[in-house]
Each structure stands twice: as structure tokens, then as C-alpha cells.
Chains A and B, each alone.
Chain A
Amino acid sequence: MKKLTPGRKRLINNSITYGIVIAAFVILQLCSAGDMLSSSLEGQLIPICAYIVMALSLNLVVGISGELSLGHAGFMSVGAFSGVVTAMSLQEAIPNAGLRLAVAMVVGAVLAGVAGVIVGVPVLRLRGDYLAIVTLAFGEIIRNIFNVLYVGVDKNGLHFSLENEAALNLAEGGKAILKGPMGFTTNVKLASFTAGFVLVLIALTVVLNLVNSRSGRAIMALRDNRIAAESVGIGATKYKLMAFVTSAVMAGAAGVLYAMNFSSVAPKKFDFNTSILVLVFVVLGGIGNIRGSIIAAAFLTYLPELLRAFDLDEYRMLVYAIVLILVMIATNNPVMRGFFSGIKEKFRKSPEEPAEKGGVSHE
């Protein structure tokens, strides 16, 4: 067998990832057209897309940049709520639902990116555990703000309040969009599976291109050895911020998609547990492994539905926790790692050996 150059190997690898996503979409669409999907899976399609984008986004920070963010649900909520506000206030201006969704997504993504810059600039000065705990703090602060934020729209434009719905002073015909702890309760179902698929493809393209670019290599160099990377002239703040903000933008877009699928979402939905859930996807898919993230997010988002059928749903989070601990120990303990790489080696050698021997005897 010919040895593949690294560039070619990467191309094949990326094509497989794209191929899996596109094939999954086509199969699901065909099944959906033929009415072969269960209603529970059908209802999960858009959340699955949203969580895939979230997992890709978090993997960019945790896997590629090597920093732990525990506040990604915060960016998701910024996207979700700003997207809903945009979609609702542009209802008359843009009658086309698809276009309105696209505009809402861009606004949500940009605002989440702005939040990413605001959070990232101070946070990325810190390292390790401190960085993780501060992202957690920012996530909680964002949730707290949405818990007291009231937004309404009337013919004069948007109104904001931090007190209650009456303080919005809406003119006649105006309506409140965000209602503090209740979130939004008006139905804005604009999302479709196709839109979700397009978003997943865009996110995948962004991540894969970033990882294989000069900037991506700089980000990974900083992850592997910050001091060495800085000493060859890679600016830590710039590249870490680049990864962080890109990730926030993607999380914002995922938030818009997620919100547009439900008739009401409260800020409580985007709490610490959601951040952890996405982290579980990333860890189980393999930290830094893009394809793994996609598969893990899709499978684990659907898993509760499967488990519900067997009445095992209440044990799900407990199992997640145990698996999380076991995966970390298996991949990071020197003894365990030696054990696993030994097995891998065995499997890799066995098919190659006969081929080599055959080659020798032929001569």
C-alpha cells in the first residue's frame, strides 16, 4: 500500500466527515418523506442539529484551543433570545420565513460573537481552572441578566426593561417578546431540518478550515506548549481569542436554531447543566475529534428518547457521569493508556504483517 501524504490523508478524512453528514441528511429526509421516522425522532431532528453545532463549537475551545469553557450555554442563550427578538420584530418587514430565519441567525450569531469578545478578552488572560470557573461565572451572569430582561416591540421600535412587563411602556398594538424568567412564549417556529443541516455544514466547514489553516496550527501550538509557541512569535491572546469568538458565534447560531424549534424557551434552559451536556458530547466523541463530536452529539441527543422506551431514562444522567469519569481515566491514566495502545498496536499489526511477508517471499 502506498503511503499517504499528510495533506491527502487529511483530505480523505475530511471528505469522510462531510460524507457522513450529507448521507445522514439524505437518508433521514428520504425516511421522513416515506413516513418511516418515528414521531419522537422527527421531533428531535432540529435539536440534534443544534447540539451538533454546539458540540463543534465547544470542541473548538476544549479540543483545539485546549481551554475548558463551562459557559457555552450562555452564548447559546444570547443567540437564542436575540434571534427570537429579531425574528419577531421583523415579522412585517421580511415576510419570507426562510430569509427571516437567516437574518435572525446572523443577528444571533453576531451578538453571541460580541458577547464572546466581551467574555473572552478578560477570561483568556487566565489559565486552567481559573479560566474554566470564570467562563462558568459569565455563563451564570448571562443567565441572570436574561432572567430580569424584558424586551417588547411596537411601532416605535424595541423597548427594554429590567423590571417588569408594564415598565416596557409599549404603545398600542405592541407586544412583549422576552418576559424575564418566562423567556419567550410566542410561537416562532421558523426552523426546519434543512436549515439545521445547512447550519451544521457551515459550522463543519468553518471548523475544519480553521483547524487546517495557519491560524489553526498556531492555536494548536499554543495548546501544546504555550511558552514555546509564544517564543516563536505566536501571539497567545490573538489566536486564543480567535478560537473563542468563532466558537461563541457558532454557539449563538445554534441557539437561534434551537429556539426557533420550540414555542417557548425560558432562560433556565441555558443553565450550567446544558453547558455540561455539551461537554459530555465533546468528551465522549473524543476531545479534538470533529467527527466524534458530531456522532456523539447526534446519538446522545436521541438517546433519552430511546431510553424512555425502556423506562431507563432516569438513569441516563447517572450513566453519563460514570462514563465521563471512566473515559477521562482510561485516556489519561498512564497505565490504562499503555494498555489501550497495546491493543491498538496488536490490531494494526496483524493485517499488515502477512502482506510484508508475502512481499518478501515473492522476491
Chain B
Amino acid sequence: MFLPYTEKTSREVNGLSFLNNLITGISLGSVYAIIALGYTMVYGIAKMLNFAHGDVIMVGAYVTFFATGSFNLPPVVGVLLAVVVCTVLGVVIEGLAYKPLRQASSLAVLITAIGVSYFLQNAALLLWGADTKVFTSVIPEGSLPISGVNITYKALVTVLTCVIIMLALTWFTTKTKMGKAMRACSEDKAAAQLMGINVNRTISMTFAIGSALAAIAGVLLCSSYQTLMPTTGSLPGIKAFTAAVFGGIGSIPGAMLGGILLGIIETFAKVINTNISDAVVFAVLIIVLLVKPAGLLGKTVREKV
């Protein structure tokens, strides 16, 4: 960050560490972006803040951990298993906890979501213990040297996964029937229902996709940090929500942009002082909400009386 003024060599070294930090930031940001995509889709359609989203990440990571660690399944199978489990979990959560509250106030829904989040964390605590598990990365170690900068395979895979997911989601929401139904529901549920769209099924579908993405994000997150405990998902979950708000909630490219920017900001804040990096991230959220509540790429919606 701070360029020294005397020697050229140290400036080069600092330039390199700047690039390395940038890559770390983009890689972390890509994980945030994948989580944020789940948040943003659910928020766009169900108009609710799914607090439990972060904990679905944790469940996904645990499933992969046990599949690859205890049952010696290949990593790809482990990831697929996590995706399946989380998808089912997401749909079940939606059906049991959120569906009965479709007409309720946002306060009631938010408290329920917090309850679900707490339930998942404590269930994980009872099932799998409070000790920190060492997560074996599903991505091979090693790095790709490009003109002096080492890009790890993990960073490469994470960023590529994020880009692929974003492109796939953009295609899904613009070209397929289900995707169009989702966008219709997010604009006006009543009108969508009159057009013959099954609103409940569409919302369940959104939760399924969001939770599947959460599973992938969980595996990528734990592959980078290699530690896993019942509270692993909660802070990244909240940060990813920050990213979704930053980019403009409801917008898919916005979630991607917000996630990557937030990852970069957090990484550089960590370089300055590790203890305050979270505070910096949350300060970003507060400033964005106060200055531009619709986010970078969001649309401003006027309130109608």
C-alpha cells in the first residue's frame, strides 16, 4: 500500500505485494459475490433478508468435509453432494419457516430468519461439535507464475467459478421460462399470479438456486481458509449481504461487482490493521446505504402511497 520513497527494489516488491493483495482480494470477493447472488435473488423475489443464508454455506462446507474426509469420496462428488443437500435444505427451510409468513410484516419474517440461522448454527454445534475442523482444500495447491506474480490455483478456480455462475444466472433469468417467471414475481407478485405463474413454486425455486450457490461458496471459502466451525458462515453471510446492497440488491451483475469490490476493500484494510477490517467493511455498508441506498447498479424505486 505505502510506496517507499528511497529504493527502487523495495518499490518493486511493494508493487508486487500490491498485486498479490489485489488477487487475494478478488478471490475473496468472488466468494462474497457467489453468496451475494443467493441473497440478492431471494431478496429480489421474496423481499426478505434470508439471515440463514450464511449458515447454509456452513452446512455445505460440512457436507463436503465429511464426504471427502470421512468417506474418502472424490472432491467433485463431495461438492455435488453438498449442492444437493443445501438445495434440499433451502427448500425445506422456505417451506417450513418462511412460507407461513408470506403475508406477515417484514419484522416478523426477519426475526424468523434469525431463528432459522440460530437453529442451523446450534444444530451444527450439537451434531459436529464446537472444535475447529481443518478443511482439506478441494482445489489442488500450487500456483501459476505470471510475470512475477503468483496466482494460486485456488484463486483462479474461485474467480472462474464466480464468472461462470454469473453468466449462467444471467442466461437463466433472461432466457428460460422459469427465469422470466422469477423476474416477473420480483416486479409484481399479484400480476405474475394473474398471468398464470405459480408464485410459491417460483419462490421455492429461487431458494433452491440460492442454496445451491451457497454450497459452492462454502466449499470455495473453506478451501481458501481451511478452517471450519459452526459459526463459519455467519460473518461471511452478513458481509455478502453488504456486498449485495453495495452492488444494488436484486441485480445479478451488481452482486458480482459489489462482492469483488468488498473483497478488495477488506483485503487492503487487513493489510493496514487486521483488527479493524470488519469495521471497515461495515462502514462501507453504512455509507453506501446512506449515500446511495439503491446501490451501485440498483434501480431506485419510488414509494407509492
Contacts and interface: CB of A to CB of B under 8 A. Distances in A.
**B is bound to A:** yes
Interface of A: 62, 66, 68, 70, 122, 125-126, 128-130, 132-134, 136-138, 140-141, 144-145, 147-148, 227, 272, 276, 279, 283, 287, 314-315, 317-318, 320-322, 324-325, 328-329, 331-336
13 contacts: A66-B107, A122-B290, A128-B107, A132-B49, A136-B238, A137-B285, A276-B118, A287-B107, A317-B122, A324-B111, A324-B115, A328-B104, A332-B105
Interface stretch (B7-15, B167-175, B216-224, B276-284): B276-284
A8 B236 CA distance: 52
B147 interface: no
A317 B115 CA distance: 10
A329 B282 contact: no
B132 interface: no
A227 to B, nearest CB: 6
B85 interface: no
Contacts of A279: 111, 114
B110 interface: yes
A276 B118 CA distance: 9
B241 interface: yes
Interface string B83-115: 000000000000001001101111111111011
A188 B108 CA distance: 40
Contacts of A138: 282, 286
A97 B289 CA distance: 45
Contact of A141 (B100, B119, B245, B282): B282
Interface string B257-301: 000000000000000010110110011011001100100000000
B177 to A, nearest CB: 29
Given A133-B285, A134-B289, 9 more contacts: A129-B106, A130-B289, A130-B293, A140-B279, A141-B279, A147-B275, A321-B119, A328-B112, A335-B100
B146 interface: no
Contacts of B115: 321-322, 324-325, 328
Contacts of A145: 279
B119 A318 contact: yes
A66 B43 CA distance: 21
B238 A62 contact: no
Contacts of A272: 234
Contacts of A227: 305
Given A132-B110, A144-B275, A332 B101 contact: yes
B178 interface: no
Residue picked from A122, A321, A335, most chain B C-beta under 10 Å: A321
B126 interface: yes
Interface in B168-201: none
B139 interface: no
Residue picked from B48, B49, B286, most chain A C-beta under 10 Å: B286
Contacts of B48: 129
Contacts of A322: 115, 119
Contacts of A62: 107
> 7 shortest A-B CB distances, which residue pairs?
A324-B115, A137-B282, A321-B119, A332-B104, A144-B279, A321-B118, A325-B115
Contacts of A137: 242, 282-283, 285-286
A333 B118 contact: no
Nearest to B285: A137
A83 B122 CA distance: 33
Contacts of A134: 285-286, 289
B282 A68 contact: no
Contact of B293 (A126, A328, A336): A126
Contacts of B305: 227
A129 B238 contact: no
B123 interface: yes
Residue picked from A68, A322, A329, most chain B C-beta under 10 Å: A329
A329 B97 contact: yes
B212 interface: no
Nearest to A67: B107
Nearest to A231: B305
A360 to B, nearest CB: 42
B100 A329 contact: yes
Contact of B290 (A125, A317, A333): A125
A263 to B, nearest CB: 25
A144 B278 contact: yes
B289 A126 contact: yes
A346 B260 CA distance: 58
B279 A324 contact: no
A105 to B, nearest CB: 27
